[in-house]
Amino acid sequence: MHLVLLLMSCFAGLAGAEGIKSLNVLSPPLKAAVSDTNAVPFAIFNSGGHLSGGMAKDILDKVALELRSQVQYLDIPRARLEPWLVAGDAEVGCFLNPDWVSQPQRFDWTDTLFFSRQLIIRRSDSAPIRRLADLYYKRVGTTFGFIYPELQQAFSERLIVRDDAHSLQSNLKRLAQRRLDAVMAVDLSYFYLLDRQQFDTEFVAEPIWSEPPGVFCAVSQQSPRRQAILRAFSRLKAQGVIEQLIQKYKTGGPA
């Protein structure tokens, strides 16, 4: 009898160990495109150039947990993001909008994560900018690879000079140095940066004339788990997790 009980106990222990082991098995890493062309606080990189924090990491780490996976962060500049998503080399890219990509139908889109006010930043001693014509024949600081729907036609017709830089920080420095007349930014990035960095010049932030666009994540249609990724985003939004993460950066958050 004791032998039988001992054997049963051993089998139960093995089954339990296998069950625990199966619970810890991870699916392949989620391939997520995040580069330092994403302004703070969307992506925060340390002095070594490694992703160390920001909204992208916070949100995508949560999505990976939903998928019982980890995240492989891919340092892909904005200009190369779309081809990587189309090919399936990246599975997800965040903080996009269908109007900001050339072929939105080639991606699956998450629910709206939040709305982002577009801003035009100018020096306080310059004239107000309240309509498109106020930017004519001015040099406007923009970010490599980003699309600005409200200004695209004026850029194409050379009514406004588009001057790309790698980051919002760089553009604001050039604005302070009077090398630019204005800078394009989004509210969350601009105010987060302004709260943490001193500039020699006083700036004025004026909202662009269009309604604040929704911000989404694009999911590659080549990913075999694209539906699972979309469901993970939907669950996190329904649970209020994404809003909590975003509020952290609106109210100060980590420096």
Per-domain residue ranges of the chain: 31-91+224-250, 117-207
pTM: 0.81
Architecture of domain 31-91+224-250: 3-Layer(aba) Sandwich (3.40)
Q: 182 by DSSP, 3-state: which?
A: strand
Pairing verdict, β 203-207 and 118-123: antiparallel
Please tell me the distance from the alpha carbon of residue 69 to that of residue 215, in angstroms, as a whole number.
24
Show pLDDT as tens, one digit a residue, over the chain (255 residues). 444 444 444 444 444 444 433 445 578 999 999 987 788 899 998 888 888 999 999 999 999 999 999 999 999 888 899 999 999 999 999 999 999 998 999 999 999 999 999 999 999 999 999 999 999 999 999 998 888 999 999 999 999 999 999 889 999 999 999 999 999 999 999 999 888 887 889 999 999 998 999 999 999 999 999 999 999 999 999 999 999 998 888 854 444
Residue range 117-207, CATH number: 3.40.190.10
Which secondary structure element, helix H or strand E, spans residue 96, and what is its range?
Answer: strand 92-96
Q: Spell out a b/e string for 178-207, using b for 16 or more CB atoms within 10 Å of the CB, else e.
A: eebbbbbbbbbbbbbbeeeeeeeeebeeee
Closest CA relative to residue 250, chosen from 59, 43, 41:
41
Closest CA relative to residue 182, chosen from 114, 130, 248:
130
